[in-house]
Every structure is written in structure tokens, then in C-alpha cells.
Structure 1
Amino acid sequence: MTRWLPRAWPLLPTLLVLAAVAAMIMLGVWQLKRAGQKEALIAEVRHNPALAPRSFPAVGPVTPEVTFRRSSLHCLRVVGWQVEAGRAADGSAGFRYIARCTTGAEGQGALVALGIGGRPDMKPGWAGGNIEGWISKEPDHRSLIQQLTGPEVVLRPMLVAAASPVAELKPTALPSPDDIPNNHRSYAVQWFLFAAVAFVIYVLALKRRETRAGADS
């Protein structure tokens, strides 16, 4: 058991390596916890699209009981657009146009995923109005490190329009629990592997240094 272990362990480098290994293990455990939470969320929202429509939430967070529920809102005025990659209901890829609306109600206004266009520089001729669709939440573009170390962010509700009122835009793919990413278990395995590899490499480096020191003496 101890033959492959070095006889001497330098204090400071060993502490640094062990701290890094512990951090990677903690990240792996956190990912496993997130996997369980995500699986519970998917199971809870799977039946939501078939339920009766409900009012559009004025503020976030978007809770599981309203996620993917049918809803509607009245966009008084479009104050801006957000464009990002998206997928249309027919399976084609394109650019998703998200309208930032004022609604006249208290809260953060409303986001509406209006449809999918073929290019990112369109100017949709939609100034507002009644729109029906499904409740989702705004995209989260933070990196994993930002999610871990940054402040908590409450994502705003977003309505995914069932039909686009703009002829140039295809309807967005309908929200589905199957589209909720749940790669946390694979991420956990990766962090555990990183921890094991880092420790093994450090041990091999110490053994190599120990062998060279023995040869020189």
C-alpha cells in the first residue's frame, strides 16, 4: 500500500495540492446535489403544459409549479430586443428574438420570446399587444464559476409565444422538460476525476524527485 507513496511530503506544496483536491471534490458533490434537484424539477414540471392557463408572474423566481404553464400577457410597448441562438418549432436553428415589454403592472416588465429569425439583424415590426404562450424564464448566460462564486441572480419570467405575430419569425420550439439541461452527474464525474488525477500526478512528481535525490546521493 505504501510502496508507491513518497517518504517525504513538503508541507506547503502538499497543503496547496490537498486544498485543490478538496475543492474539486466539493464541486463534484455540489454537482451531484444539483443533479438531484434538477431531476426533481423535471419530474414536477412534466405535466404542467397540459394544465389550465394561469396568470403570468410579475416577478421571478419562476417556481416549478408555474414553469411551462400556459399563460398570456399584454405587452403595452416594446422597449428593446435581445437576440441569441435558438431553435424553431420545426427543428431548424436560428436567432431567437426576445422582446422586453412594459406591461403597466408592478414588477420588472415582461420578456417575450417572440420567434426565430434567420439572421441576427432583423427589426421585428411588433410594437406590442396581446400574446399567448408558455411560462419560462430568461436565459442564464453565466458561466459555472460565476454561478458558484457570484451573487445570487433571480431570473425573470419569460413568455414563450405559441405563435409569432411577426411573419418573418418562425414559432419558437415549445418548452419541454426534456430541454432542461441536466449534465450535472457527468460534471460531477469530471470533477472527481480531476481530483484523482491531480493527486496522482503530485504523488508521482514527489516519487520522481525522491528517486533522483537517492540516485544523486
Structure 2
Amino acid sequence: MKRFPVVPTIVVALAVAVMIALGLWQLLERRPQKEAFLAQLAANPGRPAIAFPRFPDESLLFRRASAFCLEPVSMTRAGAGAAGYRIIALCRTGAEGPGLRVQIGTTRDPLGRVTWRGGQVRGWIAHAPDGQPLIATVMHPNVTREMMLVMERPAPGLFPNAPPSIEAVPNNHLAYAVQWFLFAAVAAAIYVIAVRRRGGTGTSPTLG
């Protein structure tokens, strides 16, 4: 009598169950959480302005805020799509804790000199560029990111910053759920085909 591959079947069944559970988690828990979060962010631009927070708080994205830059200590450029480059100043604030990053405007000149001496700044709260690869963002979606203040009026010689947009905050949880369900279906199908080809002989089907 042909021996049925019990252990490999259990392993594959557990793996499929985990994939289905991850898909349900993305669909039933993470997706509603993100939708509620996006609804909050959509309302933030209309809320009263606040002082720029000392520590990152994702719930304050797109909220209008103000701060005081005692002195810009460095300037960096970050990509801004069709707008060219964002100019981001790292400011000394005189307060304890991390410095303040301010996006002071955009430019299409990759090498142009920017002169800005700081002072009172007003605008809205956004994520600061962190150079984190996309795969890291997907694998660790809850990692707190640094915030910056995007000026509503650009520094002299620069173009205005793009206004805040909910479109900049991804909501891919439905796609993640579908991917996990597809992974589960493919894994199950491949294993069933492998078992049938082996014909239930004494050799267990390969898992890899």
C-alpha cells in the first residue's frame, strides 16, 4: 500500500494556514485601521495650527504648524518629481532633543546656491526623506519616521512646495491581502500536483 506523505503535508498545510491568516489580518484589521488613519489625515489641514511637535507623531501629518529656526546648519536636496528638487534645511532650535528639518522650497537647479537665514516658519507637517528602501517600508510599516515642517511660503529664490496630499500616503493593504491569498493558493496547488506526480510512492514530495 502506497505511503501518504504525512509530515510534508502537515508542514505545507501550516504554511498555507499562516498565509491565509496574514491575508485576513491585512483585509480585516490593517485595512480598516489605515482607512480610519487616512480619514484623520484628510481632516488635519483644516484643524487649528499647532507648535511643531518635538517628537514624531504620525497622527499630526498634514496638520498646520509653526516653529522657529535659529540657524540653518546644513542644506540637503531630495527629489521632488516634476518640481525638480526639494531644499531641506536642518535647523538649530536651541531646545533639547533633535533638530528641526524644514523644507524651504523647490528648485530645478541641482547645483544652485541657496541662501536662507532661518527665522519663524509656518507650514504643515510631513515626513522627512529617509532614504529607506521600499522593501524596508513594506516589511516594517509601523517604524516611526522623522517629521519635518514644509513651509507654506518658499524661501527667496525658490518655488513653492507642493501642498499636502493624501495620495502620498499608501494604502496597499487590500493588495497585500490578495497577494497572501494567492501565495496560499499557489503553494497548495503546487503541493497537490507534486503529490499526484509522486503517485504516493515511498518518496516524499519536495517542498522547495
Letter of the 2:12 partner, please give it. Answer: V
1:137 to 124, 127, 131: 127
DSSP 3-state at the match of 1:46: helix
| Gapped regions of structure 2 (runs ≥ 5) | 203-208
DSSP 3-state at the match of 1:191: helix
C-alpha spacing 1:132/1:145, structure 2 compared with 1 (3 Å): closer
Letter of the 2:108 partner, please give it. Answer: G
Residues 100 and 148 of structure 2 are in contact (CA less than 8 Å); yes or no, is this contact kept in structure 1? yes
* Residue 12 (structure 2) aligns with: 17
How far is 1:18 from its partner? 3.5
1:41 to 37, 51, 55: 37
Letter of the 2:182 partner, please give it. Answer: L
- 1: CA distance, partners of 2:133 / 2:159: 27
The alignment status of 1:79 with 2:73, answered yes or no, reads yes
- 2: CA distance, partners of 1:120 / 1:23: 48
DSSP 3-state at the match of 2:80: strand
Residue-pair matches, total: 199
- 2: CA distance, partners of 1:93 / 1:16: 52
- 2: CA distance, partners of 1:129 / 1:113: 13
What's the % identity of the aligned pairs? 43
- 2: CA distance, partners of 1:187 / 1:30: 10
The alignment status of 1:27 with 2:22, answered yes or no, reads yes
How far is 1:52 from its partner? 2.4
Letter of the 1:132 partner, please give it. Answer: R
- 2: CA distance, partners of 1:200 / 1:70: 52
- 1: CA distance, partners of 2:92 / 2:195: 63
* Residue 199 (structure 1) aligns with: 188
Question: What is the TM-score normalised by the length of structure 2?
Answer: 0.79
The alignment status of 1:210 with 2:199, answered yes or no, reads yes
C-alpha spacing 1:85/1:20, structure 2 compared with 1 (3 Å): farther
* Residue 183 (structure 1) aligns with: 172
* Residue 205 (structure 2) aligns with: none
Deviation readout 1:8-50 (Å, 9 max, x if unpaired):
2352x44443444344334323432222111101112222212
Residues 5 and 200 of structure 2 are in contact (CA less than 8 Å); yes or no, is this contact kept in structure 1? no
Once superposed, what is the RMSD of the aligned Cα atoms? Answer: 3.0
Residues 58 and 157 of structure 1 are in contact (CA less than 8 Å); yes or no, is this contact kept in structure 2? no
C-alpha spacing 1:205/1:127, structure 2 compared with 1 (3 Å): farther
C-alpha spacing 1:118/1:17, structure 2 compared with 1 (3 Å): farther
- 1: CA distance, partners of 2:186 / 2:32: 26
How far is 1:159 from its partner? 0.7
How far is 1:61 from its partner? 2.4
Question: What is the TM-score normalised by the length of structure 1?
Answer: 0.76
- 2: CA distance, partners of 1:43 / 1:54: 19
| Gapped regions of structure 1 (runs ≥ 5) | 1-5
